[in-house]
Amino acid sequence: MESQATVSPSVTYAAVLVVLVVVAAAVAALARLRVSRALVVASLRAVVQLAAISLLIIAVLRSWGLTVVFVASMLTIAAFTSGGRVGRRSPLVAVPILAGTLPVLALILVTGTVPVTPIAVVPIAGILIGGAMTATSLSGRRALETLRTRHGEYEAALALGFSDRDAALELCRPSAAEALVPALDQTRTVGLVTLPGAFVGVLLGGASPIEAGAAQLLVLVGLLAVETIAAVLTVEIVARGALNS
Do 82 and 183 lie in a common domain?
yes
Which band of pLDDT confidence, cut at 50, 70 and 90, is reported for residue 170? confident
Number of domains comprising the chain = 2
Q: Which residues contact 158 (CB under 8 A, 6 or more apart)?
A: 164, 167
Residues 52 and 81 in one domain: no
66 neighbors 184 (Cβ within 8 angstroms): no
Among 9, 41, 60, give the residue marking a domain's end: 60
From 45, 60, 75, the end of a domain falls on 60
Q: Could you read off the pLDDT of 177-222 as tens digits, one per residue?
A: 888 888 888 888 877 666 666 666 766 666 677 877 888 888 889 9
Residue 83 is assigned to a structural domain of this protein: yes
- pLDDT band for 1, please (50, 70, 90 cuts): very low
Shared domain for 43 and 91, answered yes or no, is no
Cα(22)–Cα(205) distance, integer angstroms: 31
Q: Is the pTM above the cut of 0.85?
A: no
Residue range 107-114: mean pLDDT, rounded: 92
The reply to whether 103 and 210 lie within a common domain is yes
Q: Sign of torsion, CA 37 35 245 76?
A: negative
**Distance between CA atoms of residues 225 and 101, nearest Å:** 9
140 close to 243: Cβ distance less than 8 angstroms: yes
Residue 150 resides in a domain: yes
Same domain, 90 and 153: yes
Residue 3 has pLDDT above 60, yes or no: no
Average the pLDDT over 53-59 and give the result: 82
Percent of the chain with pLDDT over 70: 90
Same domain, 28 and 74: no
Q: For residues 110 and 228, state if they share a domain.
A: yes
Residue 233 maps to a domain: yes
Average pLDDT value for the chain? 86
Residue 245 lies in a domain: no
Question: In the listed set 60, 75, 96, which residue is the last one of a domain according to the structure?
Answer: 60
Give me the mean pLDDT over the 91-99 stretch.
91
Identify the domain containing residue 100 by its residue range: 64-239
Please check whether residues 54 and 70 belong to one and the same domain.
Answer: no
Q: Do residue 39 and residue 156 come from a single domain?
A: no
Does 100 share its domain with 217? yes
Say if residue 73 is in the same domain as residue 175: yes
